[in-house]
Amino acid sequence: MQGAVTSLKRLLLACIACVLGAAALTFVVDPLQLFRPSRLAAFYSDDTRMQNAGLILSQSFDTAFMGTSLAIHFRQSDIDRALAVHSLKLSMTGSNSRQQAFVLEQAIDRGARRVIWEMDDFIFVDAADIEADPYLFVDLYRRTAKGIASYLFSASMAKESLFALLRSVPPLRGPLTRAAPFLPVKFALSDVDDIYALPRDFDVTRGYNAQKTLAAFAYITDPVRSRFLGEGYGYAAMVRHFEQDAIGLIARHPEVTFDIYFPPYSILQFVAMRDASPETLKIVTDLTARIAQRLTQLPNARLHDFRAIKAVTHDLDNYGDVIHHSPAVDAKVLRWLASREYQVDPKAPLASLDELKAQVEAYHVPK
Amino acid sequence: MLFNSYPFILLFLPLVLTGYFWLGRRSNLAPVIWLAGASLAFYAVGNWQFAGLLLLSIAFNYGVGHLLIVAKLGRSQRRAALALGVAGDLLVLGIFKYAGFGVDNINALFGTHAAVHVLLPVGISFYTFTQIAFLVDAYRGRVAAYALPHYALFVTYFPHLIAGPILHHKDMIPQFEREEGKHPDAHLILCGVIIFAIGLFKKTCLADGIQPLVALAFEARSPSFDQAWLGSLAYTFQLYFDFSGYSDMAIGISLIFGIFLPVNFNSPYKASSIVEFWRRWHMTLSQFLRDYLYIPLGGNRRGRVLRYVNLMITMLLGGLWHGAAWTFVVWGGLHGAYLCVNHAFNALVPTVPSVLARPARIAGAALTFLAVVVAWVFFRAESVAWALRVLRAMADPSNIVFGRDEIAALLLVSIYAMLVWLAPNTQAIMRYDHGNRRVGEALRAGRIRPLILYGASLVLAFGLLGIQSHSEFIYFRF
């Protein structure tokens, strides 16, 4: 009996030692660069909701770039070249306005003086409050005791730290860095520019073409699935979220310039709503009219509307589905932002929207 | 409350354990009441709105059981009491679990738009089945009279309440009645902690670790051949480690209290036939279905054809037990069909010569695993159409992506496959013998202690470090 008691004590003490050892390893290696810029070669993760917490603390920047999957494949170096800024890309796939505003607020607090914000209508649908959001680690951004504990006392982070440590051993550095993107480790990217960007050898023609776009259109307008077009859309709630998250943030930071743009979806996005869910199309147009009217009145905000640029939006070869555009369009977006060619005129905030409405009405889907 | 949560491990379990053994020094009944109360609190933390339903269910079944055991009823009266008890249980289960499904089907058939929104009480399938078995055994005269606290603890006992294993009164209640069990046994506590550690590691580091890969097949609009296979295999291993991790944790926690729970898993993916698979997977459910459904239906006593019909009925209902959706019915139907083919094969094909026994076993294991994976696709998919889409992708090798993500996924899936097929299971490591109430004899004798101890401490540490705030057990939904 005494032996079992001793063994039990030993087991529990050894367990505590292991836990503390793992936490110490994560603290020293700090894969997220939450406490200090990396001493070893820095590596990054594609999990932007988590990675952004470390990027905001470890990178230097004057401009924050925010958006959803529509703004995910931009490269920071391209943004910097096109707009003559020192940017930090913080886009998060499927993010909502609460998450985006929260992350932007952290970036502004760390020195961002310009924000480039790709704004979708669907970011304003109802979602969990930021404090209850299971997908955004708010305590990690805030560096609360809970956030730091969840970072340090984590098996996944201990694994990443161990892998980073192995990668820092000179003979292993080369092979492990090359192998990392193909291994089940999160911090696999050695270049901050590659975070959630298309691989450099990506076959753009195969990924973006009219055939795929039309197939996606047929898929979402199928009567079985067309109800999903309007899922979560409610005008009043969306306006409320826009006011709280976007207007609230912009108004709180008059020293920051906000370049906000409506991305160039393919025309089929709106045609799908026209044909399969007209009530959703009305919500979208009413909401973006409201957004245009509100944003153009703010002194520190500029709105750019790319939705009616027919040469891009009607060329279905630019898309991988009805909304996601190719890297060629990414480059155009940056050029348009730099030239302010499609900036919405505060005196006629609905002009581009009216043009879009006319295009949607007139459009015939290719057979 | 979840086993894989800090409040449970650091607060609830130590508190309940301390109270249990402290009361155990004073009385034989008080610890039982304490543990039943703690179990109810465990349930109520996440499901307070259904705690009343659980209590009502206990009172109802205990009352009917009392009629069957103690009251001097005639044969027809006993039959009526049993019918009342079972019907009452099934009615409650039907309302909470199947009402929405029934209405959806009526709407689909008749074009109506009726709507029923009933929340599913967690664990209702488990505590209902447990009590039906009790009533049937009481009717058969196989139950001694039990005190209410022991019966209530048997139903609510928190290590099993929410996701099994399905307990049998004959196994459990005598253990609750034993006085020696209420004093701390350092050996059982040590073994319990080790088994719990293995289960926690399986859940937090293995099952939760592979979960994101499941999206490759089941959240993609049109998965490629490799994505569909990798996603389906990821789910196959996620379910395995999730459920077997839960079962290990349940056994480990219970052992700390000095109570032996039945084994629910015995390396099912090592099975060389579907019949063997069901002797190794969710073993307590298989036993329940066999004893309280298949055999009462006639089992194999009424000829070969009726045997197959009974198998199909049993598996279809077993499928529906897992969830009120056609995907579960198809899953159950597939396993029913597999079992029929397996039995027919055994009846028609002569015994394999011994020289071919090993290759035949390997081929059987591969075929069984393949069949199980195909069935899991229906089990996991949102709809039958979605499952068919995944299966079509799995059958179309012309569409292969095999990019970075897929290579990383393949590596991870391969590691899991090696763990499943090459590593010993928990009961083998710990020599857990439920029938003879023995565990860790080598550990007790002082053999292999350092290796087991420090290995267990590492496993426990990583199990604790792997705890995530948004993780739940797959079997909670059933």
Nearest Cα to Cα of residue B208 among B27, B410, B469: B469
Q: How far, in Å, CA of B212 to CA of B191, rounded?
A: 32
pLDDT at B478 over 70: no
- pLDDT in the model for residue A1: 63
pLDDT averaged over every residue in chain B: 90
CB B67 within 8 A of CB B95: no
Average pLDDT of the residues in B102-124: 83
Q: What percent of chain B has pLDDT over 70?
A: 98
Q: How far apart are CA A287 and CA A205, in angstroms?
A: 34
Task: Specify whether the CB–CB gap between A90 and A116 falls below 8 A.
Answer: no
- Provide the shortest C-alpha distance from residue A325 to chain B (in Å): 18
A153 contacts B465? CB cut-off 8 A: yes
Is it the case that residue B221 has pLDDT exceeding 80? no
Q: Is pLDDT of B448 > 70?
A: no
Mean pLDDT confidence for B136-161: 89
C-alpha B26/C-alpha B316 separation (Å) is 49
CB B249 within 8 A of CB B463: no
Query: Is the model's pLDDT at A134 over the cut of 90?
Result: no
Q: What is the mean pLDDT of the segment spanning A220-240?
A: 85
Half-sphere exposure of B77 (CA within 13 A, CB side): 9
Closest partner residue to A182 (CB to CB) among B407, B461, B462 is B407
Q: What are phi and psi of B274, to 5 degrees?
A: -70, -35
User: Residue B220: is its pLDDT beyond 70?
Assistant: yes
Q: Is the pLDDT of residue A147 over 60?
A: yes
Question: What integer pLDDT is reported at residue B372 of this predicted model?
Answer: 97
State how far the Cα of B254 lies from the Cα of B158, in Å rounded to an integer.
Answer: 9
Query: What integer pLDDT is reported at residue B17 of this predicted model?
Result: 95
Burial readout A128-165 (b: 16 or more C-beta within 10 A, e: otherwise): eebeebeebbbbbbeeeeebbebbbbbbbbbbbbbbbe
* Residues of chain B positioned with their CB less than 8 A from the CB of A183: 408, 411
Phi–psi pair at A262, nearest 5 degrees: -90, 120
Q: What tokens appear for B353 in the block?
A: 């010569």
In this predicted model, what pLDDT tens digit does every residue of B18-57 receive, in sequence order?
Answer: 999 999 998 889 999 999 999 999 999 888 888 999 999 9
Nearest CB to B461; choose among A18, A150, A219: A18
> Taking 70 as the threshold, does the pLDDT of residue A346 lie above it?
yes
Picking from B403, B409, B457, the nearest residue to A18 by CB comes out as B457
Selected residue of B190, B196, B399, B404 to mutate for chain A interface (largest A Cβ count, 10 A) = B190
Query: Residue A338's pLDDT band (boundaries 50, 70, 90)?
Result: very high
Distance from CA of A20 to the nearest CA of B (A): 9
Query: What local confidence, expressed as pLDDT, does residue A20 receive?
Result: 97
The distance in angstroms from the start CA to the end CA of chain B is: 16
Distance CA B396, CA B392 (A): 6
Among all residues of B, which ones are annotated catalytic?
A: 322
Q: By the 8 A CB rule, do B142 and B127 touch?
A: no
Contact A182 B411 (CB under 8 A): yes
Residues of A with CB under 8 A from a CB of B: 1, 3-5, 7-8, 10-19, 22, 134, 150, 153-156, 158, 181-184, 199, 219
- Residue B81 tokens read as 């009491």
Pure H helices in chain A = 2-29, 48-58, 76-83, 97-109, 138-142, 145-152, 155-167, 170-179, 204-207, 210-221, 235-241, 248-252, 267-276, 278-295, 310-313, 327-339, 351-362
How many CB pairs below 8 Å do chains A and B form together? 84
Report the gap between the CA of B267 and the closest CA in chain A (Å): 25
Q: How far apart are CA B288 and CA B286, in angstroms?
A: 5
Write down the pLDDT at residue B475.
64
User: Confidence class of residue B376 from pLDDT cuts 50, 70 and 90?
Assistant: very high
pLDDT > 60? residue B64: yes
The CA-atom distances, in angstroms, between B119 and each of B50, B96, B472 are 10, 7, 17
Work out the average pLDDT over A111-122: 95
Q: How confident is the model at residue B477 (pLDDT cuts 50, 70, 90)?
A: low
Strand order in the sheet with A257-262: A87-89, A63-66, A114-118, A257-262, A301-305
Q: What is the mean pLDDT of residues A127-148?
A: 90
Determine the 3-state secondary structure of A115 from DSSP.
strand
Mutate which of B194, B457, B458, B470 to test chain A, going by most A C-beta atoms within 10 A? B457
Confidence of residue B213 (pLDDT cuts 50, 70, 90): very high
How confident is residue B476, by pLDDT bands cut at 50, 70 and 90?
Answer: low
On chain B, the residues whose CB falls within 8 A of the CB of A94 are none
Nearest to B166 by CA among B136, B134, B203, B129: B129
- Which tokens belong to B343? 């039995």
pLDDT of the residue at B303: 82
**Which of A16, A17, A33 shows the shortest CA–CA distance to A157?**
A33
Confidence of residue A292 (pLDDT cuts 50, 70, 90): very high
B181 — pLDDT class (breaks 50, 70, 90):
confident
Query: H/E element holding A301?
Result: strand A301-305
Cβ B186 vs Cβ A1: under 8 Å: yes
Enclosing H/E stretch for A208: none
Q: pLDDT per residue over A19-76, tens digit each?
A: 999 999 999 999 999 998 887 778 999 899 999 999 999 999 999 999 999 998 999 9
Q: Are B423 and B261 in contact (CB under 8 A)?
A: no
Which of A232 and B463 is assigned the larger pLDDT?
Answer: B463
Asked if residue A322 lies in contact with residue A275, where contact means CB atoms within 8 angstroms, the answer is no
Q: B325 with B101: CB under 8 angstroms? A: yes
* Closest in A8, A18, A155 to B189, CB measured: A8
Mean pLDDT of B455-476: 84
Confidence at B102, pLDDT banded by 50, 70, 90: confident
DSSP secondary-structure letter at A69?
A: G
In one-letter notation, the amino acid at residue B88 is G
Percent of chain A with pLDDT over 90: 76
DSSP 8-state symbol, A92: -
CA distance B46 to chain A (A): 17
Instruction: Note whether B165 and B261 are within 8 A (CB).
Output: yes
Is the confidence at residue A227, as pLDDT, over 80? no
B133 in Cβ contact with B288 (< 8 Å) = yes
Peptide bond into B165 cis (omega under 30): yes
- Find which of A119-133, B360-374, B440-454 is predicted with most confidence, using mean pLDDT: B360-374
In whole angstroms, give the CA distance from residue B245 to residue B197: 9
* Residue A325 DSSP code: B
Least confident span in A82-96, B274-288, B434-448 = B434-448
What number of other Cβ atoms are within 10 A of residue B183's Cβ? 11
* Highest mean pLDDT out of A42-51, A245-254, B130-139: A245-254
Residues forming beta bridges with residue B416, ordered by sequence position: none
Average pLDDT estimate for B302-306: 84
Say how far apart CA B477 and CA B246 lie, in whole Å. 14
Q: What are phi and psi of B248, to 5 degrees?
A: -60, -45
Q: What is the DSSP letter of B300?
A: T
